[in-house]
Amino acid sequence: MTKANSRFPLLQIFNNIGYYSMKRYIFLLVILMLTTLQVVAQTKNEAFVPKAVWNDTEGKPINAHGGGLLKYRGKYYWYGEYKVGETTLPSWATWECYRTDVTGVSCYSSKDLLNWTFEGLALSAVKDDPESDLHPSKVIERPKVVYNKKTKKFVMWVHAESADYSKAAAGVAVSDTPQGPFRYIGSFRPNDAMSRDQTLFVDDDGTCYQFSSSEENQTLHINRLTDDYLKPDGQYVRRFIGQAREAPAVFKYKDKYYMITSGCTGWDPNRAELAVADSIMGEWTVIGDPCTGIDADKTFYGQSTYVIPVNPKKGQFIACFDMWKKKDLADSRYIWLPIKINRDTGDMKIPWMPKWTLKDLKN
């Protein structure tokens, strides 16, 4: 190598492979770069498209079903059931309890609610312990995560279920970081009552509540939690007695509490219901079905799972629904829609929109 080329190794490469080979090399490199840029452009989401396949930043379908969101330090985290593999129906089943093997709870992160990066499994299955709630043969549903400002811990609650759905319990896990890994503590029946479809809600004063379908899904229980959010504190109320409501999604607007629920029809869609209360543990009044537009009477073929408070002071919320595919659960889709609030009357509607952006949140 000459002295000049030792200072400029690219020139030596040029001399070795020849002029025309170098042109071909550069051409291929440019093509590769353009292809990479095209792939990146394809995976960037510009709008919400309910029911469509929703890809993450790697171009793979988002896998976070029955989930909930947490906002922490300017970033959103989306947790959900990570469903992979074959959907099966047990031979003993007398109802449509389709399921996939438990894999874990996924975590995605985003700053704009549109483009999500897969952070991995926040809570993973335990394959070597058949007695564990996290064994692939069991059922883990409806994961919700909240941050406890006092303990500086992230707390996850799930519906922990046996293979035959007789356990009807709540499972709790904790982590030092939002993406996990979460350490599973165990499961129990809150206040010795059944707990299936569930969600968490943290009020302005830091008190956390668990809402769950109980009493064979016929009545909803609202359980106040201890200061560390790890268990009930013994105070609870029974609401919607005998009304068979599940899939609760709770939010607060102008000092009133709102809850979206679904009926109990298994994997099949039904009419959504909105209720309001002046206090969480107080009486809840049913307002009616908030959905409007095509297939509103079937909740657009979705089921409620969470409401995102994007800007609650301005009445900007996103209602999140799962569109279940009971025979192919891994391909279940997501229906996110803006909640339209009449700021004068307080009337709330969730209109069907085949495509929308965050600008549509403005009321």
CA 21, chain centre distance (Å): 51
Which residue from 173, 165, 155 is spatially nearest to 194, judged by alpha carbons? 165
DSSP summary character for residue 99: B
How many whole angstroms from its chain centre is CA 89? 24
First to last CA, the chain: 70
**φ/ψ of residue 124, rounded to 5:** -105, 155
Centroid of chain to Cα 250: 14
**Domain annotation covers residue 24:** no
Does residue 143 fall inside a structural domain? yes
- Domain membership of residue 307 (yes or no) is yes
Count how many domains the chain has: 1
The pLDDT value recorded for residue 34 is 46
- 259 CB burial (10 A radius; 0-12, 13-18, 19+): buried
Distance of CA 254 to the CA centre of its chain: 25
* Alpha-carbon torsion (335, 99, 208, 70), positive or negative: negative
pTM (predicted TM-score): 0.89
The domain that holds 207 is classified in CATH as 2.115.10.20
Question: Which residues lie closer than 8 Å to 213 by C-beta, 6 or more apart?
Answer: 194, 195, 196, 197, 198, 219, 220, 221, 245, 246, 247, 248, 264
Q: What is the pLDDT of residue 16?
A: 54
Q: Which residue segment(s) compose the domain that 195 sits in?
A: 54-361
Interatomic CA distance for residues 116 and 51, integer angstroms: 17
Residue 6 lies in a domain: no
Would you state the pLDDT for residue 33?
52
* 133 occurs within a structural domain: yes
Give the separation between CA 252 and CA 250, rounded to whole angstroms.
7
On whether residue 36 sits in a domain, the answer given is no
Amino acid at position 169, single letter: A
Helices of type H across the chain: 3-7, 9-17, 19-43
In a domain, 44, yes or no: no
DSSP string covering 319-360: EEEEE--TTSGGG-EEEEEEEEE-TTT--EEEE--SSB-GGG
Let me know if residue 326 belongs to a domain: yes
Bridge partner residues of 63 (DSSP): none
pLDDT mean for each 10 residues of the chain (363 residues): 46 49 50 47 84 98 98 98 96 92 98 98 98 98 98 98 96 98 98 98 98 98 98 98 98 97 96 98 98 98 98 96 98 98 91 98 85
The dihedral through the CA atoms of 215, 216, 218, 220 has a sign that is: positive
Q: Which helix (H) or strand (E) holds 311?
A: strand 303-311
